[in-house]
């Protein structure tokens, strides 16, 4: 939902900005391409920011904004080439300004998206929770069933759902991983990946994979691989603050 709302608003803003520089029909077509490119590449940016999470917050922001402008420049160069080709312009006659036209505006949009993403995904993880419920309600064979959180081994994101693994079974629940983590606090669960939580009491072993990543073996026999952005959480909760 965050992606859809953001890029719908951004697309409208880019279109309005484009009206001041070109005819309405051309602005509409060009910015539809920009909107589609922005929506698709933002998923790449999300993964890249996740891998950079081991940086300090200041360095994470600087790296994210720099990456945002690089992606924006790439998008406008490709889209400008397509746009001018459709208008019958010889690409060999295009000057530098025509190739990079719109890069600044799209770069600002990407940078704003990066800041919102950092705020939504990472800073909110630090908010304390006042009370953690003991059960989570899941659906099993058409019936709502309260499942004890202590029995849950891991939880993985699956689009608008989460996959809850407990007692050698997997339950689907219509809820985002971020929302579930916020509502159930961190008394039992440790976030080891942008899309995965593990129950700290079910982690049997932790093996380093290199580059800040670890393989966590759970009591039920399943494995969860952490991402580099969460290596400090792995060290603090399972390795006593060291490798």
The radius of gyration of the chain from alpha carbons, rounded to an integer in Å, stands at 22
Q: For residue 214, name the pLDDT band (cuts at 50, 70, 90).
A: very high
CB 204 within 8 A of CB 154: no
**pLDDT by residue (tens digit) across 22-81?**
566 665 666 677 777 777 777 877 888 777 777 777 887 888 888 888 887 887 788 777
Percentage of the chain modeled with pLDDT above 70: 79
Cα 194 to Cα 18, 185, 189: the distances in Å are 36, 16, 13
Which residues are 140's β-sheet partners? Answer: 143
Q: Residue 64: exposed, middle, or buried by beta-carbon count in 10 A (0-12, 13-18, 19+)?
A: buried
**pLDDT by residue (tens digit) across 103-137?**
777 778 778 888 888 777 665 554 444 455 678 88
The predicted pLDDT at position 153 comes to 93
Ordered alpha helix ranges (H), 87-222? 96-99, 103-121, 177-184
pTM equals: 0.50
Domains and CATH numbers, the chain: 2-126 (no CATH), 135-238 (2.40.50.1020)
H/E element, 8: helix 2-19
What is the residue-averaged pLDDT of the chain? 78
The predicted pLDDT at position 128 comes to 45
The predicted pLDDT at position 146 comes to 85
The predicted pLDDT at position 123 comes to 56
Cα 228 to Cα 237: distance, rounded to the nearest angstrom:
15
Angle at CA of residue 189, ends 183 and 194, nearest 5°: 85
CB 117 within 8 A of CB 46: yes
The predicted pLDDT at position 207 comes to 92
Closest CA to 126 of 180, 177, 185: 185
**pLDDT by residue (tens digit) across 129-161?**
445 567 888 877 777 888 888 899 999 998 888
Percentage of the chain modeled with pLDDT above 90: 16
**Residue partners of 102: CB distance under 8 A and separation at least 6:** 14, 18, 30, 34, 76, 79, 80
Q: Is the pLDDT of residue 176 over 70?
A: yes
What totals of helices (H) and strands (E) does the chain contain, helices first? 7, 10
Q: For residue 185, name the pLDDT band (cuts at 50, 70, 90).
A: low
Cα 183 to Cα 199: distance, rounded to the nearest angstrom:
15
Which residues are 213's β-sheet partners? Answer: 210
């Amino acid at each position: 939902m965050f992606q859809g709302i953001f890029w719908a608003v951004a697309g409208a803003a880019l279109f309005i900005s484009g009206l001041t520089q070109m005819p309405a029909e051309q602005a509409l077509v060009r910015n539809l391409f920009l909107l589609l490119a922005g929506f698709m590449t933002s998923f790449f940016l999300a993964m890249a920011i996740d891998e950079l999470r081991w940086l300090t917050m200041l360095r994470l922001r600087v790296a994210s904004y720099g990456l945002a402008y690089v992606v924006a420049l790439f998008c406008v160069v490709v889209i400008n080439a397509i746009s001018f080709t459709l208008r019958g312009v010889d690409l060999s006659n295009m000057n530098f300004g025509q190739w990079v036209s719109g890069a600044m505006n799209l770069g600002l949009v990407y940078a704003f998206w990066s800041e919102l993403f950092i705020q939504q995904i990472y800073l909110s993880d630090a908010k304390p929770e006042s009370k953690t419920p003991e059960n989570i309600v899941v659906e099993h064979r058409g019936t709502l069933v309260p499942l004890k959180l202590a029995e849950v081994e891991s939880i993985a994101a699956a689009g608008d759902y989460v996959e809850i693994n407990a007692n050698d079974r997997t339950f689907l629940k219509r809820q985002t991983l971020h929302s579930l983590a916020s509502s159930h606090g961190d008394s039992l669960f440790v976030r080891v990946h942008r899309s995965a939580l593990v129950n700290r009491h079910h982690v049997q072993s932790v093996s380093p994979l290199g580059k800040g990543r670890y393989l966590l073996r759970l009591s039920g026999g399943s494995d969860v691989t952490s991402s580099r952005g969460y290596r400090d959480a792995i060290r603090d909760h399972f390795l006593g603050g060291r490798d």
